[in-house]
Every structure is written in C-alpha cells, then in structure tokens.
C-alpha cells in the first residue's frame, strides 16, 4: 500500500545493508496512522503496558536480523525471521520482491505463501527497485510523498486517487506501472533482459517502487 510505503521506504532505501538500517525510520510514521493497528490489542482487552513491552521486544529483535554477515541458521528458519530471511525482505531483486514480512516469526509468511528463501545463485541487491542516488536528507524523507502528491494531481477520478493512495507502490491507472506484478509480467515477456523500473519524471524525487 503506497500510503504506508511512503514512510517505510526510508527504512529500505540504503543501498548497503548493516545494523544501522534496523533503526532507520521515516519521520512521518505516526501521521500515516500505523499506530492504529497496535490500538486493536488494547481495545480487545490486552493491557497497554503489555502491548508496549511486546513492541519494544520486537524492536530489539529486529536489530540483529539486519546483519548482512550472519549465515543461515538451520532449523530456526522454519519458525523465526532470521537474518537470511530478512536479507531477502530488503532485497530489490525481482525474484525477492514482496516477501518475508514477519517481524519475529516467519511461520505466517510460510502459511500464506509470502515466504521467499535466500538463493545462492541470486545475491541480494539492497535498496529500492529504483536505487537511491542522493544523500540529501529531505529528499530521502519526503521524496516519496512528493511523488505521491504529483501523481494525485494527475488523477482523473476518485478511483485513480484511491489507486495511487492504496494500491501497491508503482501502480498506474493504465496498467503500465512499476508494481512487482508489472515488473514480473514485463520480465516474462522479455526474459533475456532484466526488468528496469521506468525513470522518474523528476530526478530530484524518489519514486516509490
């Protein structure tokens, strides 16, 4: 969903992977409403202090799985989100897009078909599908929002507005976008050529793909 990706993309934007990426967060997370998801547990009766404790433990767990040097961890991969699984989650290779969403557990990715194993024949390329090419902090933080605003201004109907906001990053109303589905479809028609995201109209803005 592009609305949330505009913030989360900052976490995925480094072209190199190290432990510092674990706590690389966007500034606009609270504005997008992500905290509403965590409000469901207190509404269902879980004490807020327990929710805060679990969120803190999850954040601590997330630190070590951002290491690029830790190898595969054998049987643990069947239950836990390991560094190997999370390397795939951060990879921009077409084969690795949209997988391994779990924070601590990987079993739900396996149950719902979202698990992607790390492959020896496909080294992970970290970053975004369209790699970050700037170190300008404001562009990194707000480039995705600027690109979203630019697309919203071109929308010709409520359907297109909702599509730009809530469809996958890279969605276009004409079907010629840069979503994972679009990129894989183009790759299937031209298997000898690596799929490349279309260039952004404004080089100063980072398109969300």
Q: What is the pLDDT of residue 204?
A: 40
Task: Extract the tokens encoding 22.
Answer: 């674990």
Please give the average per-residue pLDDT across 43-68, as a whole number.
93
Please give the average per-residue pLDDT across 6-22, as a whole number.
93
Please give the average per-residue pLDDT across 21-28, as a whole number.
91
Q: What is the pLDDT of residue 64?
A: 95
Q: What is the pLDDT of residue 54?
A: 92
Query: pLDDT (tens digit, 9 = 90+) per residue, 85-132?
Result: 999 999 999 999 999 999 999 999 999 999 999 999 999 999 999 999
Percent of the chain's residues with pLDDT above 70 = 91
Tell me whether residue 145 is exposed, middle or buried, using C-beta atoms within 10 angstroms of its C-beta: 0 to 12, 13 to 18, 19 or more.
Answer: buried
Task: Extract the tokens encoding 120.
Answer: 């020896």
Is pLDDT above 70 for 202?
A: no
What rounded mean pLDDT belongs to the chain?
Answer: 90
Please give the average per-residue pLDDT across 7-14, as a whole number.
95
* Residues 6 or more apart in contact with residue 191 via CB below 8 angstroms: none
Is pLDDT above 90 for 197?
A: no
Query: pLDDT (tens digit, 9 = 90+) per residue, 122-155?
Result: 999 999 999 999 999 999 999 999 999 999 999 9
Is pLDDT above 90 for 160?
A: yes
State phi, psi for 117 to the nearest 5 degrees. Answer: -80, 150
Per domain, the residue ranges of the chain are: 2-111
Q: What is the pLDDT of residue 194?
A: 54
Q: What is the pLDDT of residue 72?
A: 93
Q: What is the pLDDT of residue 30?
A: 84
What distances in angstroms separate CA 7 from CA 31, 40, 80, 85, 185, one per listed residue?
A: 9, 21, 25, 22, 27
Q: What is the pLDDT of residue 33?
A: 87
* Residues 6 or more apart in contact with residue 107 via CB below 8 angstroms: 78, 79
Q: What is the pLDDT of residue 165?
A: 98
């Amino acid at each position: 969903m592009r609305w949330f990706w505009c913030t989360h993309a900052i976490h995925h934007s480094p072209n190199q992977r190290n432990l510092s990426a674990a706590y690389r967060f966007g500034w606009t997370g609270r504005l997008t409403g992500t905290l509403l998801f965590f409000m469901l547990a207190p509404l269902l009766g879980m004490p807020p202090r327990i929710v805060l404790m679990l969120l803190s433990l999850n954040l601590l767990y997330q630190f070590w799985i951002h290491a690029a040097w830790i190898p595969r961890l054998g049987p643990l991969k069947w239950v836990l989100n390991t560094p190997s699984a999370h390397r795939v989650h951060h990879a921009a290779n077409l084969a690795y897009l949209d997988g391994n969403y779990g924070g601590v557990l990987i079993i739900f990715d396996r149950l719902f078909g979202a698990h992607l194993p790390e492959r020896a024949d496909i080294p992970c390329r970290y970053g975004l599908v369209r790699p970050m090419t700037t170190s300008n902090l404001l562009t990194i933080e707000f480039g995705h929002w600027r690109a979203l605003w630019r697309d919203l201004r071109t929308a010709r109907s409520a359907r297109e507005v909702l599509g730009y906001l809530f469809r996958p990053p890279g969605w276009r109303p004409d079907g010629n976008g840069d979503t994972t589905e679009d990129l894989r479809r183009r790759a299937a028609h031209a298997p000898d050529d690596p799929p490349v995201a279309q260039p952004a109209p404004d080089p100063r803005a980072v398109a969300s793909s």
